[in-house]
Amino acid sequence: MPELPEVETIARGLAQNLTGDVIESVWLGNKPEPLKSPPGEIVGTLEQARIAGVRRVGKHIVVDLSRRSPVASRRKKRAQWIVHLGMTGRLLIAQPDIAVPKHTHAILRLRSGRELRFVDPRRFGRLAVVRHSFQAPGSEPLDMGVESFAVLFRRRKTPIKSALLNQSLLSGIGNIYADESLFRAGVRPRRRAASLTRAELQRLYGAVQEVLREAIAAGGSSVSDYVDANGDAGFFQFQHRVYGREGEPCLVCRTPVKRIVIAGRSAHYCPKCQK
Ligand SMILES: [Zn+2]
C-alpha cells in the first residue's frame, strides 16, 4: 500500500507530466466501488478542465482543475479531482494505442493525445471530485511543529505505533515508516502513547520528519519519467532498518529484530535499542 512518501513521489511525477494538459473526455467503468462521487458529477467536473497542478494531501493525490471558459461557473473553477490509491490503485499515463489493462476503472483522454488511466485490481482506491479545498482528516506530518505533534499523543492510551497509524491524528504514515520512525527514536511500538516523555516525543518527531524526507528523496530521485504509480523501483534506495527484517541483526547492535502484532498489524523493533 502506498504511504506518504510514495504518494508524494507519484504526485510529483504526475505534476511534471500532466500540468497544463486538458481533459477532453472521460470514460468510467461500471464498477461502483472506485467512484466516491456520482459518475455524472465526476465526468462533468473533469471534462474540459485544465490540469492546473497535482499535489499530495495526506495520502491523497489532489489534481487542481481550472476552466478556461469565463462563462463557466466560479465553483467549477476551483474544482479538484481527488484520487486515493487504496491498496493496488495506479495512475498510468499511456498512449491510446497501448492496450488498456484489466481492472481499468477510468480513462481520461487528454488534449496532448495521451490517456490517464486509473487501474485498480482490488478496488480499494477511490475517485472523487470536490468543489472546495480538499483537506485530509489528520494533520500533515511534514507541516507541523514539535508542539502540535506532541499534543496528538497526550492522554492517549493506545500503543504509540497505533497512534502513528491513526489517520485522523496524522495523515499519511503507514506501517513501514511508523516502524522505521520508532526505531530511530528508540521507542518500542507497544509503549502507550501517553507514556512517552518529552524527550522521546521530540526524538520521535525528528525521526518522523527524517524518515519521510529521506524516503521522498529516495523516490524523487528516480521519478523524472515516472509513469507507473507503483513506485517500487524508486524506493529501493530507502533502506529499511527494522521493517521486514524479523530475526535479522539490528544494524546498530546486532540483536535480532523482533516482530510482534499490534491491533492486527505487524510491528518490527530492536529489543535492545528501543525502550
Ligand atoms: Zn539494536
Q: How confident is the model over 152-174, as pLDDT tens digits?
A: 999 999 999 999 999 999 998 98
* Residue environment code for 204-214, b if the CB has 16+ CB neighbours within 10 A, otherwise e: bbebbbebbeb
Q: What pLDDT, on a 0 to 100 scale, did the predictor assign at position 262?
A: 96
Which pLDDT does position 88 carry in this prediction? 87
Whole-number Å distance, alpha carbon 113 to ligand 1 midpoint, is 53
Contacts of 229 (CB under 8 A, 6+ apart): 2, 10, 13, 85, 89, 90, 91, 92
pLDDT for 221: 54
Expressed in angstroms and rounded, the spacing between residue 192 Cα and the centre of ligand 1 is 21
More confident residue, 233 or 171: 171
Residue 145 reports pLDDT greater than 70:
yes
- State residue 225's pLDDT score: 38
Determine contact, residues 58/137, Cβ cutoff 8 Å: yes
**How far away, in angstroms, is 261 Cα from ligand 1 center?**
19
- pLDDT level of residue 265 (50, 70, 90 thresholds): very high
Which helix (H) or strand (E) covers residue 14, if one does? Answer: helix 4-18
24 is an active site residue:
no
Q: What mean pLDDT do residues 114-140 have? A: 92
Tell me the CA–centroid distance for residue 272 and ligand 1, in Å. Answer: 5
- Which pLDDT value is given to residue 231? 43
Residues 2, 141, 159, 189: which is the catalytic one? 2
Q: Which of 12, 56, 59, 90 is catalytic?
A: 59
Q: What percent of the chain has pLDDT over 70?
A: 90
Ramachandran angles phi, psi of 240, nearest 5°: -75, 130
2 catalytic residue (yes or no): yes
